[in-house]
C-alpha cells in the first residue's frame, strides 16, 4: 500500500478519433467523394471549429460523428465506441442549422422532448428545463410557443434542448448561420461562457472566419472535391475572450492563417 | 420503376383480397346449389345454414370453394367474372358489329361521357368567369366567395333528382339535364382553384405591372391568367371527376335513356351483380381516362409555359 | 303582380350598390354583413320572381313556402336527419376515417407499400365510388348499416391518402434529431410524425364530412326504410312536392355546414400551432 505515489495527470482523453475516414456518395451520374482520408482527434474539453467552402465535407464529417451518415472507409470512434453505439448511449447533443423546434410544443416542452424519449423522471425533467433555460438566458419563456419568439431566441432554445441531457459532446452544424451579425455576436459570446461553465467538448461547423477564430481552441480548415482536411490551426488565444479580442493582432494573425489555408485549398482546385 | 413495382404489389394484394372475399361472400349460394345437385353439404339443413356465419360455413365446406368463383348471380363476383362481362359488353360488341346496342357498355359509357363533358365544359367556363369577376370586384369577392366556400360543405348531389324532374317538366333534353348537374359539381372546384390561382402573383410582380402602367386587362392576360394555369389544371382534375359523378348520379333519376348510372340501377333491380360491377368499372375507367387526359394536357401545357415540373 | 318583380329587382339594385360601397370599408362587421345582405338579396329576388311571374310551385316553390313546410314538418325532418346523418353518415364517417388513419400507421414503416398505396389511393379517391351503393345495399340491407358501409368505402381512401402524406410530412432535420436521441420508432411516431401529420389528417377529415353526407343520402336512393333524407327527397320528387324537397335540402345544407364547422373547430384547437391557423 503506497499512498505516496505522485498523482498522475490524466493524459487528455480522446473523445472523437478519426483515422483515414472516407465517404463516397453514390449519385446517378457519378460517385461523389465527400470525405477523403480524414484523420483527426478531438480531445476532452476541446472547442473545434470546422471551416471551409460548401461541399468540403465539414457537415458530412459532423454527421458521421453523429451516426447520421455511414463512412465508407476508415475508422471512427466516439468515446471509444462506434458512432452508432455512442448515439444509442446518448453521448452527444446535436444542434442543426435551423432551430427545428416543434411548433406544437412550448419551449419548455420542446426541451423536455429528448428527456421524455430518454426516460428521465418527471421531476428531473422540470429541474433540467429550468437549469438549461437559465444557461441560455431564456428564463420566463418556457411557456411560449416557438413561433412566438425571435430567430435568435429559437436557436438558443434549440441549444438548451441539446444541453438538457447528460451528453458531454455538443455537435453544432452552423447553428448561427441564419442569424444576423449582431445576434450572432451575442450568441457567440454566450456560447463561450456556456462552454466554460459546462466543460463540454464542442465540434462546431461554420463558414465564418471570425466566428471560427473567436470560438475555437482548434480550427480545422477543409477543402472540397474531394472533401479533406488541409490545415489544423491551434489557437494561441486565451480561454477568456471578450468580444473586442477580435481587434487584437493575435486574433488577426490567426484569422490570416485560416484565410491562407482556405485559399491554398482553393488553389489546389484550379 | 420502383414505384411501378410498389403499385403492382398493392394492386395484386387488393385483387387477392377480393378473390379471398369471394369465398365467404358466396358460400351460402354455393351450398344451396350443391345441395340441389345432390352433393353433401354440412350442415345439411338449409335454415341451419342460414343462421351460420359466412366464414364458419366456408370453413366447414372447403370442397365448395372452387364453385364460388363461377356463380350466375354471386353476392360478390370474382374479378375475372367482372372482366369477362366487361370484355363481352365492350370489345365483344364491337366484334359483333353491335357497338351501340342496348347491352353495350360502349353505348352507356358514351351517354354518360357526353353528359359529363357537356357539363364539365360549361362548369369550367362559368367557374373561370366567376373567378375573374371575384378577383376584380371587391364587392363580388365579399358577397359571393363566402357562399361558394360554404356551399362546398353542402351535399349538392342530393339536389340531383329534383333538378332532373324540374328540367324534365320544362321539357329540356335529358343530356342537358344531366349536364346541368355535372356543371354544378365541376364549377365549384374551378372557382375556388382559379381565385387562388389568379391571386397567386406576388406583390412584387403586381407592383412591376403597376410601374409599367399596365391596365387591369393587360395584367389579367399577361400576369394573372398565366400564373393561374397550374391551379387551373389541378382544379380541372377534381372538376372532371366530380362532373362524372354528377352525370352517373343524375342517371339514377333519368334512367330511361341509358348511361352507366342507369346500368347500375337496372343491375340493382334485377340482382345482376356482375352487371353492376362491370358498369362500376366502366365508370372507373372513364374517370381514369378523363383525369389522365387532363394530366397529359397539364404536363404539356406547363412544360411549354416553362413552369418547373 | 309585376310589383313583386320590380320591387325585388329594385331591392337587388339597392343592396348591390350598398355592398359595393361597404366592401371598400375595412370594419370587421362588414365581412359578415356583406355576404349576409347578398344572401338575403338572393332570397328576396327568388321570392319576388316566383310571386311576380306566378311560377308553378312544382317547378320552383317560393322561399316563404319552403320555410312554411320546414316549420310544419320539423318532426319528419328530424326523423330523417337522425336516420341519415346520425345513424348512417356519422357512424360510417367514424369507422372509415379511423380505418384510414390506422391503415396509414400500419404501412408507416414500409416506404415500399406507401409508394404503392399513394397513387392507388389517389386514383380510387377520384372514382365514382357512390356507384358502390347498390352493391352495399344488397349486402347490408335497407337499414342504416348499408348507408354507413357506403360512407366507409367513400371516406376510406381520401383519408388514407391524407394520413400517409401527413406521416411523411415531418422535416428530414426533425427526423435526424429523433435519430440523434436514439428514439424508438414508436416514440418517433408518437412525438414527431403523428403531431406533424395532424394538419393533413384534418384536411382529410374535412373533405370526408361532405363525402359522408353525400354517400348516406345517395345510398338511400337505392333503397331504405320509409325514412331518411335521401328517401324523402326521391319520394317527394316523385310526388312533385318540391317544397318538402327543398326543406330537406335546407336541412342537408345546415347539417353539412355544421358538421364541417365542427371538424374545422377541432382542427383550430388541435393544430393551433400550424401557420394556417395562426393568422
Distance of CA A6 to the CA centre of its chain: 36
**For residues A162 and B102, which has the higher predicted lDDT (pLDDT)?**
A162
- Chain C environment of B10 (Cβ under 8 Å): 113, 116-117, 120
Mark which residues 50-79 of B lie under 8 Å from C by CB.
75
C20 in a structural domain: yes
CB A43 within 8 A of CB A31: no
* pLDDT for the residue numbered A269: 46
A178 touches chain C (CB under 8 A): no
* Sheet with A218-223: strands ordered across: A92-95, A169-173, A201-206, A47-51, A218-223, A228-234
Minimal Cβ distance to A114: which of C176, C181, C195: C181
* pLDDT for the residue numbered B16: 93
Q: Which of C176, C181, C278 to mutate to test the interface with A (most CBs of A within 10 A)?
A: C181
B249 touches chain C (CB under 8 A): yes
Q: What are B43's three cell numbers?
A: 350442415
* pLDDT for the residue numbered C70: 94
Gap from B91 CA to chain C (nearest CA, Å) = 22
Minimal Cβ distance to B162: which of C112, C128, C237: C237
Give the three-state DSSP class for A33: strand
Q: What are C264's three cell numbers?
A: 374545422
CB A174 within 8 A of CB A56: no
Nearest CA in chain B to C239: B165
Q: Say which residues have a Cβ less than 8 Å from residue B255's Cβ, sequence separation at least 6.
A: B261, B262, B265, B266
pLDDT at B77 over 60: yes
Tally C-beta pairs within 8 A across B and C: 171
The mean pLDDT value for B165-186 works out to: 86
- Count Cα atoms within 13 angstroms, Cβ side, for B234: 12
Radius of gyration (C-alpha) of chain C in whole angstroms: 24
Distances (CA, A) of C122 to C114, C115, C161: 12, 11, 7
Topology classification of domain A14-91+169-267:
Rossmann fold (3.40.50)
Give the three-state DSSP class for A75: strand
C270 touches chain B (CB under 8 A): no
Angular region, C222: left φ>0, alpha ψ -120 to 50, beta rest: alpha
Chunked mean pLDDT (size 10), chain A, 270 residues: 51 82 84 89 92 88 90 90 88 87 90 88 92 87 91 89 86 87 86 86 92 92 88 87 87 91 66
Q: Which residue has the cell 364587392?
A: B139
Q: What are C35's three cell numbers?
A: 355576404
Gap from A87 CA to chain C (nearest CA, Å) = 6
Mark which residues 200-239 of C lie under 8 Å from B by CB.
209-210, 213-214, 217-218, 221-223, 229-230, 233-234, 237
Query: Which one-letter DSSP state was computed for residue A41?
Result: E
Q: What is the pLDDT of residues B13-59, one digit of tens each?
A: 999 999 998 888 888 888 888 888 888 777 778 788 877 788 888 88
Is C134–B152 a contact, with Cβ atoms under 8 angstroms apart?
A: no
* Residues C97 and C177 grouped into a single domain: yes
The total number of structural domains that make up chain C: 2
Can you spell out the DSSP letters for C189-225?
A: IIIIIHHHHHHHHHHHHHHHHHHHHHHHHHHHTT--S
Query: Which one-letter DSSP state was computed for residue A81?
Result: B
Query: Which one-letter DSSP state was computed for residue A13?
Result: P
* pLDDT for the residue numbered A266: 65
Is C180–A68 a contact, with Cβ atoms under 8 angstroms apart?
A: yes
A213 touches chain C (CB under 8 A): no
Gap from C124 CA to chain B (nearest CA, Å) = 8
Q: What are A219's three cell numbers?
A: 480550427
Q: Say which residues have a Cβ less than 8 Å from residue A268's Cβ, sequence separation at least 6.
A: A223, A230
* Residues C237 and C132 grouped into a single domain: yes
In whole angstroms, give the CA distance from residue A2 to residue C103.
69
In whole angstroms, give the CA distance from residue B218 to residue B168.
43
* pLDDT for the residue numbered A6: 53
Q: Give the Cβ contact number of residue B168 at 10 Å.
A: 14
Give the three-state DSSP class for A160: helix
CB C220 within 8 A of CB C231: yes
The mean pLDDT value for B119-125 works out to: 96
Predicted ipTM of the assembly:
0.83
C248 in a structural domain: yes
Chains that touch A (3 or more CB pairs under 8 A): C
The CATH class, in words, for B105-304 is mainly alpha
* Residues C134 and C98 grouped into a single domain: yes
A94 touches chain C (CB under 8 A): yes
Distances (CA, A) of B309 to B230, B293, B294: 10, 17, 16
In this complex, whether A and B touch, counting 3 or more CB pairs under 8 angstroms, is no
CB C135 within 8 A of CB B276: yes
Give the three-state DSSP class for A218: strand
In whole angstroms, give the CA distance from residue A102 to residue C195.
9
Gap from B6 CA to chain C (nearest CA, Å) = 4
In this complex, whether B and C touch, counting 3 or more CB pairs under 8 angstroms, is yes
Mark which residues 103-122 of C lie under 8 Å from B by CB.
112-117, 119-120
- Count Cα atoms within 13 angstroms, Cβ side, for A167: 29
> Which stretches of chain C sit within 8 Å of chain A by CB?
171, 173-174, 176-183, 187, 191-192, 195-196, 198, 271-275, 278
Query: Based on the number of CB atoms within 10 Å of its own CB, is B172 exposed (0-12), middle (13-18) or buried (19 or more)?
Result: middle
Q: Which of C12, C34, C27, C20 is nearest to B138 (CA)?
A: C20
pLDDT at B1 over 70: no
CB A92 within 8 A of CB C180: yes
Q: What are A125's three cell numbers?
A: 425533467
Q: What is the pLDDT of residues B141-174, one digit of tens each?
A: 888 888 888 887 777 788 888 888 888 888 888 8
C145 touches chain B (CB under 8 A): no
For CA atoms C22, C23, C26, C30, give the dihedral sign: positive
* pLDDT for the residue numbered C67: 95
Type and span of the H or E element at A48: strand A47-51
Q: Where are the domains of chain A?
A: 14-91+169-267, 100-166
Is A104–C195 a contact, with Cβ atoms under 8 angstroms apart?
A: yes
Is B273–C213 a contact, with Cβ atoms under 8 angstroms apart?
A: no
A145 touches chain C (CB under 8 A): yes
Q: What are A245's three cell numbers?
A: 479580442
Nearest CA in chain A to C185: A117
Q: Which residue has the cell 394520413?
A: C163
What is the CATH classification number for the domain harbouring C82? 1.10.3720.10
* pLDDT for the residue numbered C83: 93
User: CATH 1.10.3720.10 in chain B, residues?
Assistant: 105-304
Is C179–A68 a contact, with Cβ atoms under 8 angstroms apart?
A: yes
For CA atoms C125, C128, C133, C136, give the dihedral sign: negative
* Residues C132 and C28 grouped into a single domain: no
Structural domain containing residue C272: 70-278
Can you spell out the DSSP letters for C57-101?
A: TTT---HHHHHHHHHHTHHHHHHHHIIIIIIIIHHHHHHHHHHHH
Residues in chain C: 279
Distance of CA B64 to the CA centre of its chain: 36
CB C173 within 8 A of CB A102: no
Low-confidence ranges of chain C (pLDDT < 50): none
pLDDT at B122 over 90: yes
Can you spell out the DSSP letters for B254-286?
A: SGGG--HHHHHHHHHHHT-HHHHHHHHHHHHHH
Q: Which of C39, C43, C117, C127 to mutate to test the interface with B (most CBs of B within 10 A)?
A: C127
Query: Which one-letter DSSP state was computed for residue A11?
Result: P
Amino acid at each position: 500500500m503506497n499512498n505516496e505515489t505522485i498523482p498522475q495527470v490524466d493524459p487528455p482523453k480522446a473523445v472523437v478519433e478519426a483515422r483515414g475516414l472516407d465517404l463516397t456518395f453514390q449519385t446517378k451520374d457519378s460517385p461523389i467523394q465527400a470525405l477523403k482520408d480524414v484523420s483527426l482527434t478531438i480531445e476532452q474539453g476541446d472547442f473545434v471549429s470546422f471551416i471551409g467552402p460548401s461541399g468540403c465535407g465539414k457537415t458530412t464529417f459532423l454527421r458521421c460523428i453523429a451516426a447520421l451518415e455511414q463512412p465508407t472507409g476508415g475508422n471512427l470512434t466516439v468515446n471509444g465506441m462506434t458512432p452508432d453505439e455512442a448515439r444509442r448511449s446518448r453521448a452527444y447533443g446535436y444542434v442543426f442549422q435551423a432551430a427545428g423546434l416543434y411548433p406544437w410544443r412550448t419551449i419548455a416542452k420542446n426541451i423536455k422532448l429528448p428527456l421524455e424519449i430518454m426516460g428521465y423522471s418527471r421531476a428531473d425533467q422540470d429541474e433540467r428545463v429550468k437549469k438549461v433555460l437559465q444557461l441560455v438566458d431564456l428564463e420566463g419563456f418556457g411557456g411560449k410557443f416557438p413561433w412566438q419568439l425571435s430567430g435568435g431566441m429559437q436557436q438558443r432554445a434549440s441549444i438548451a434542448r441539446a444541453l438538457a441531457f447528460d451528453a458531454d459532446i455538443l455537435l453544432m452544424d452552423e447553428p448561427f448561420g441564419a442569424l444576423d451579425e449582431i445576434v450572432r455576436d451575442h450568441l457567440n459570446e454566450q456560447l463561450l461562457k456556456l462552454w466554460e461553465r459546462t466543460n463540454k467538448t464542442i465540434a462546431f461547423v461554420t463558414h465564418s472566419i471570425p466566428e471560427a477564430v473567436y470560438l475555437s481552441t482548434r480550427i480545422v480548415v477543409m477543402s472540397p472535391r474531394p472533401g479533406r482536411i488541409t490545415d489544423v490551426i491551434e489557437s494561441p488565444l486565451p480561454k477568456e475572450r471578450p468580444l473586442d479580442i477580435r481587434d487584437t493582432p493575435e486574433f488577426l494573425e490567426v484569422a490570416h492563417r485560416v484565410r491562407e489555408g482556405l485559399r491554398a485549398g482553393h488553389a489546389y482546385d484550379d | 420503376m420502383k414505384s411501378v413495382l410498389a403499385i403492382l404489389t398493392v394492386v395484386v394484394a387488393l385483387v387477392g383480397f377480393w378473390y379471398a372475399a369471394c369465398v365467404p361472400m358466396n358460400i351460402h349460394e354455393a351450398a344451396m346449389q350443391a345441395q340441389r345437385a345432390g352433393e353433401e353439404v354440412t350442415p345439411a339443413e338449409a335454415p341451419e345454414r342460414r343462421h351460420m356465419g359466412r366464414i364458419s360455413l366456408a370453413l366447414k365446406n372447403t370442397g365448395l370453394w372452387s364453385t364460388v368463383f363461377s356463380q350466375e348471380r354471386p353476392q360478390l363476383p370474382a374479378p375475372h367474372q367482372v372482366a369477362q362481362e366487361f370484355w363481352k359488353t365492350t370489345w365483344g360488341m364491337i366484334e359483333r358489329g353491335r357497338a351501340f346496342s342496348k347491352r353495350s357498355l360502349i353505348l352507356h359509357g358514351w351517354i354518360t361521357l357526353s353528359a359529363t363533358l357537356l357539363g364539365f365544359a360549361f362548369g369550367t367556363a362559368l367557374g373561370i368567369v366567376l373567378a375573374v369577376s371575384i378577383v376584380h370586384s371587391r364587392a363580388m369577392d365579399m358577397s359571393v366567395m363566402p357562399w361558394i366556400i360554404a356551399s362546398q360543405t353542402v351535399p349538392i348531389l342530393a339536389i340531383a333528382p329534383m333538378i332532373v324532374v324540374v328540367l324534365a317538366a320544362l321539357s329540356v333534353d335529358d343530356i342537358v339535364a344531366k349536364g346541368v348537374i355535372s356543371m354544378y359539381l365541376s364549377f365549384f372546384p374551378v372557382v375556388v382553384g382559379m381565385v387562388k390561382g389568379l391571386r397567386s402573383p406576388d406583390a412584387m410582380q403586381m407592383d412591376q405591372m403597376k410601374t409599367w402602367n399596365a391596365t387591369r386587362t393587360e395584367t389579367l392576360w399577361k400576369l394573372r391568367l398565366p400564373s393561374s394555369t397550374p391551379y387551373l389544371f389541378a382544379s380541372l382534375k377534381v372538376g372532371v371527376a366530380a362532373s362524372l359523378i354528377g352525370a352517373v348520379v343524375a342517371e339514377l333519376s333519368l334512367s330511361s335513356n341509358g348511361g352507366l348510372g342507369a346500368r347500375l340501377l337496372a343491375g340493382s333491380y334485377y340482382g345482376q351483380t356482375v352487371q353492376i360491377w362491370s358498369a362500376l368499372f366502366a365508370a372507373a375507367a372513364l374517370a381514369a381516362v378523363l383525369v389522365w387526359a387532363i394530366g397529359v394536357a397539364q404536363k404539356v401545357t406547363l412544360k411549354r409555359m416553362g413552369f418547373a415540373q | 303582380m309585376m310589383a313583386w318583380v320590380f320591387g325585388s329587382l329594385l331591392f337587388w339594385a339597392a343592396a348591390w350598390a350598398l355592398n359595393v360601397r361597404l366592401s371598400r370599408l375595412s370594419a370587421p362587421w362588414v365581412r359578415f354583413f356583406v355576404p349576409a345582405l347578398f344572401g338575403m338579396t338572393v332570397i328576396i329576388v327568388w321570392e319576388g320572381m316566383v310571386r311576380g311571374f306566378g311560377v308553378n310551385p312544382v317547378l320552383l316553390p317560393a322561399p316563404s313556402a319552403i320555410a312554411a313546410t320546414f316549420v310544419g314538418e320539423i318532426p319528419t325532418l328530424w326523423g330523417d336527419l337522425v336516420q341519415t346523418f346520425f345513424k348512417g353518415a356519422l357512424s360510417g364517417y367514424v369507422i372509415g376515417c379511423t380505418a384510414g388513419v390506422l391503415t396509414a400507421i400500419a404501412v408507416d414503416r414500409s416506404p415500399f407499400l406507401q409508394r404503392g398505396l399513394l397513387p392507388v389511393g389517389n386514383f380510387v379517391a377520384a372514382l365514382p365510388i357512390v356507384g358502390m351503393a347498390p352493391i352495399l345495399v344488397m349486402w347490408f340491407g335497407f337499414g342504416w348499416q348499408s348507408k354507413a358501409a357506403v360512407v366507409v368505402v367513400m371516406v376510406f381512401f381520401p383519408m388514407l391518402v391524407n394520413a400517409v402524406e401527413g406521416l411523411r410530412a415531418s422535416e428530414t432535420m426533425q427526423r435526424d434529431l429523433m435519430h440523434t436521441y436514439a428514439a424508438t420508432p414508436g416514440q418517433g411516431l408518437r412525438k414527431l410524425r403523428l403531431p406533424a401529420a395532424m394538419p393533413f389528417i384534418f384536411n382529410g377529415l374535412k373533405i370526408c364530412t361532405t363525402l359522408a353526407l353525400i354517400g348516406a343520402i345517395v345510398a338511400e336512393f337505392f333503397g331504405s326504410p320509409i325514412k331518411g333524407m335521401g328517401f324523402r327527397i326521391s319520394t317527394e320528387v316523385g310526388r312533385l312536392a318540391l317544397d318538402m324537397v327543398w326543406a330537406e335540402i335546407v336541412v342537408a345544407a345546415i347539417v353539412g355546414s355544421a358538421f364541417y364547422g365542427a371538424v374545422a373547430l377541432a382542427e383550430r384547437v388541435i393544430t393551433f400551432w400550424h401557420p394556417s391557423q395562426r393568422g
